[in-house]
Amino acid sequence: MASIVHEGDLDLSHLTLPAGLELPEHVGGCLDLSGLTSAEGVKLPEHVDGDLSLGGLISAEGVKLPEDVGWSLNLSGLTTAEGLKLPEHVGGWLGLSGLTSAEGLKLPEDVGGSLDLSGLTSAEGLKLPEHIGRNLDLRGLTTAEGLKLPKGVGGDLYLRGLATARGLKLPEDVGWSLDLRGLTTVEGLKLPKGVGGDLTLSGLISSEGLKLPEHVGGNLYLSGLTSAEGLKMPEHVGGWLGLSGLTTAEGLRMPLHVGGDIYLWSLDENEYDQEVHGPRELNGRVRFHEPSDGGGRPRRRH
């Protein structure tokens, strides 16, 4: 008979079969059952104060999850939500990256950490929590149809798979980074007033109609633009400014402040004049030549 309470972590990751497994009612630390592909017949603890790792499960049939998971819940092996009943509260990360459809998925009302739904290709039937404390990963979505995002995302918001912003309503607040690198046009795009971290729009080939936030706390990636005509920059960019695709300085007006380097790899040095184009305050350097990684290969474009 298993004890009622197990203080500290319980690592059972070596188990591949659930037969004969008896678990305590309460685990004071983390519980690792990542080796199981099925938990049918297993009575899981009612409470797990730390992480609960069930990343090997390929089916949720017959699984009764704890009422409360204090930190992270890893169910990344599931490809369907059939039979899945999630806890009302997950204090940290909720990993459901294997799901390809939201059919039957009922998410907790509150996710204190990150929510990984990177395997979804459609938002049909998806109801997200009103607030996500850290990151929201929806990088697999190719369309925003049916997508209702939370009002607030405390960390990063990954939407890099979207090819169009039609129907996309972004949160009022993104605490850290916003990744929209798949967009090639700004049609339908309304960005938040501020982005606390990086803003990635490296797929845009034209700035026509683009209204950038007043403040970008991290890096701003606009490496797909070949012209700055009509481009109105934020007043403040806290990190790098990636304009490595610009071939002309015509119409270029830099932010008042750039906290890192400016990348102008495709621009002739003679075309750029900081006194004319800005920024007024630059904490990094202007880089006109694309560095190599030591093996003669170009680094990731900025």
Q: Mean pLDDT, consecutive 10-residue segments, the chain of 302 residues?
A: 79 90 93 92 91 95 89 96 90 95 92 95 93 94 95 93 95 92 95 93 95 95 96 97 97 97 96 96 94 51 56
Q: Which of 241, 236, 234 minimizes the C-alpha distance to 260?
A: 241
Q: Give the C-alpha distances (Å, rounded to integers) separating 219 from 85, 235, 242, 300.
A: 39, 13, 8, 14
User: The dihedral of CA 271, 273, 278, 281: what is its sign?
Assistant: positive
pLDDT tens for residues 234-281?
A: 999 999 999 999 999 999 999 999 999 999 999 999 999 999 999 999
Q: Which two tokens stand for residue 156?
A: 């990063």
Alpha-carbon radius of gyration of the chain: 23
Cα–Cα distance, 212 to 104 (Å, whole number): 37
Q: 287: which strand partners? A: 263
Buried b (16+ CB within 10 A) or exposed e, 203-221: bbebbeebebbebbbbbbb
Instruction: Count the neighbouring beta carbons within 10 Å of the beta carbon of residue 80.
Output: 17
